[in-house]
Amino acid sequence: MSAQKALPLTKEEVMMLVKLVEAHPVLFSKATNATNNRLKEVTWAKLTTRFNLMISSSPRKPEQLRSKWENLKKAARKRSQIRMNNLKTGGGNPDFTPPYEALDKVASILRASCDSHRVPFRGTLKHSVAATESKASVIARNRAIAEYYVTKKKNESELAPLKKRKLELEILELEKRFCCDPSETNKESHQ
């Protein structure tokens, strides 16, 4: 048996998908490590759940929505490239590109994510996507830094008496070298 092909998304559903993707900056991260890839998978699953709750047509799978998003990005880039080529030539009638709100929105999101690696999030600019770390990794890093400083302070407090004793021994050694009898030095200092 072959799987039935799902109906295409309506314009409203496409706009809903674009808005949901825009609200999840982790999806724009260029990092491809295991942590980020897992975070993206979880985000796509959550996004799909929210999407399916908001639509009345057949439910979609994360792979379907992700594929649609990739296709929208390609179409938006192609559309932007055509517009740029029309502007570069400067002559002749430019190819007419009918307005399509979803592609214009995708292009603006992509432009924002490329320009200084920032993505709009609920109307404000969010942290640099390249520098975005998951909350767990920030907590782990902060704990490691705190542990380092605690250990360093502990080591310094343990070394302080040893350093003091070393200095005392060095002073005695210097007194022996420059004075024949250290007791004479003590007598001279008392007079």
Domain range list for the chain: 11-132, 140-190
- Nearest residue to 128 via CA among 142, 141, 115: 115
Neighbours of 168 (CB within 10 A): 10
- Written as one string, the DSSP assignment of 130-166 is TT---HHHHHHHHHHHHHHHHHHHHHHHHHHHHHHHH
Q: Across the chain, what does the average pLDDT equal? A: 77
How confident is the model over 160-180, as a mean pLDDT? 88
pLDDT tens figures, 50-103: 999 998 888 999 999 999 999 998 988 888 787 777 777 665 555 555 667 777
The radius of gyration of the chain from alpha carbons, rounded to an integer in Å, stands at 33
Q: At what angle do helices 11-22 and 62-89 cross, to 10 degrees?
A: 90
